Amino acid sequence: MKRFFSSVRARATLGASLVVAVALVVAGAAVLLSLRDSLTDQASGQAESAARGVASQLAGNTAYGDLDLDDEDHPVQIVDGDGRLVAATEDLQRISGTGVGAVKPGPASSAPPKSDGDDDGDSESEAPELGEVSDDDPRVTNGSATVDGETADYRFAAVEVSTDKKGDLTVYAGASLAAQQSAVSTALTSMLIGFPVLLAVIAGVTWLVTRRALRPVDAIRAEMAAITASEDLARRVPEPDTHDEIARLATTTNETLAALQTSVERQRRFVADASHELRSPIASLRTQLEVGAAHPELLDLEGAVEDTVRLQELAADLLLLARLDAGEKPGEGRVDLAALAREELSQRTRDRADVRMDLKNAEVAGSRSQLARVLGNLVNNAQRHASSHVTVSTRADGGWAVLEVADDGDGVPQDERDRIFERFVRLDDARTRDDGGAGLGLAIARDVAARHGGTLTVREAPGGGALFELRVPAASAP
């Protein structure tokens, strides 16, 4: 059961069924209440109409014995001001809900009323005064009555009537609630039968629709499982043509796979290139040491030191790249690019070309060591390609701090200006130089720039050659 409800399809079906069930129960209850109230109001109207009909007869001075009270659908009681029953439906056997339980009037109450003509002979020619039926809304109650042996529930209405000879009277008339009860019972039975059927249909439709909607997800999951098992990142998950959330999920998944494939291939190339770059200085150093061990007089100590330094720099570059790839944060220290450039350039003693400086204060927030590595890599690259001099300048440009390193060499071809920032990439002329690096300097510089929220670009210098521009967000005021 737990495994069943772990399915999105099952949870969606259950959720939809529960929502519809609650809606049906609420709607059904509202319909039943509305139907019952409507039929009850209808019965109240019928009871009031019957009561007012009898009251009109009483107001017209109709004698009790002459009243039309034989309607079995509307049992009637007439009660005087003292609460005594004076007239009732002939077949009435039992009644409740009117406040008067009597069903047969007493002998005194049933006698015909005395005429006013007995007191004065002149009054025989005078017309009797009519009574008055109350216009107020009648009192309405629920009760039951047994008429001619049949018991049923009724809605009773009480209408007040005032007469000259009979005094104040109250007419109770009932209207059967059988139609209401039958209609409500029929509606309830229909709901009890129809609601489960409707829920079953909704659950089935939801199950089928959800299965159809999630079919692409199953295909994506199966393909991802196959990719995981085969470790083939060149494969892609199927993308449905629905242009919905699932299609966007498939597209995003394929984009993630493509990025992962690129990253893995990049790492593989990185490892292969690093192994190749490390092999040369290690092999050279080993050869020199073996020769020195066998023939000390032939040991090239200076060459061994150069190979060791090259090996050390390459290892440092690889370590820094590994830290950058791992997401190392640059820190929040404040660094003045002008002061950094003065300090770093003053320590360089073996530069081939003259270094010129045009330094203006420009503070940034970041890692001093990483920014110093960027400056050093850019200057080393410029020294490798310069004809006579290298120019280093710093300045503030709006919200940016700018560091520029330019040389007067041959420059970088337009189609190579993006490729030179890739790892282990060196242009052909640089590969012919014995003092060339491993092709990591510019890649490291751009990665550091990106980690600091900036950019590193190359363009043609005003006087010819290449101009590398580092832009980093300026530090905010303390």
pLDDT value for 2: 54
Strand partners, 119: none
Q: What is the pLDDT of residue 156?
A: 94
pLDDT in the model for residue 26: 93
Amino acid identity, residue 192? L
CA nearest neighbour of 250 among 225, 217, 291, 274: 217
Length of the chain: 478
Rounded to the nearest 10 degrees, the angle between the axes of helix 337-346 and helix 368-385 is 60
Chain centroid to CA 3: 25
CATH class of this structure's domain 334-473: alpha beta
pLDDT of residue 242: 81
User: Could you identify the residue written with the tokens 């590994």?
Assistant: 322
Task: Decide yes or no: CATH 3.30.2310.20 for domain 245-325.
Answer: no
pTM: 0.50
Average pLDDT for the chain? 84
- DSSP secondary structure code for residue 348 in this structure: -
**CATH 1.10.287.130 boundaries in the chain:** 245-325
Q: Which sign does the torsion angle of CA 260, 261, 264, 266 carry?
A: negative
CA distance 317 to 190: 81
Cα 394–chain centre separation: 49
Q: What angle do CA 133, 138, 142 make, to 5 degrees?
A: 140
Show the low-confidence residues of the chain (pLDDT under 50): 108-125, 429-434
d(CA 53, CA 108): 25
CATH 3.30.565.10 placement within the chain: 334-473
Rg (the chain; Cα; Å): 53
> In 10 A of CB 170, how many CB atoms?
23
**Roughly how many angstroms between the first and final C-alpha of the chain, as a whole number?**
62
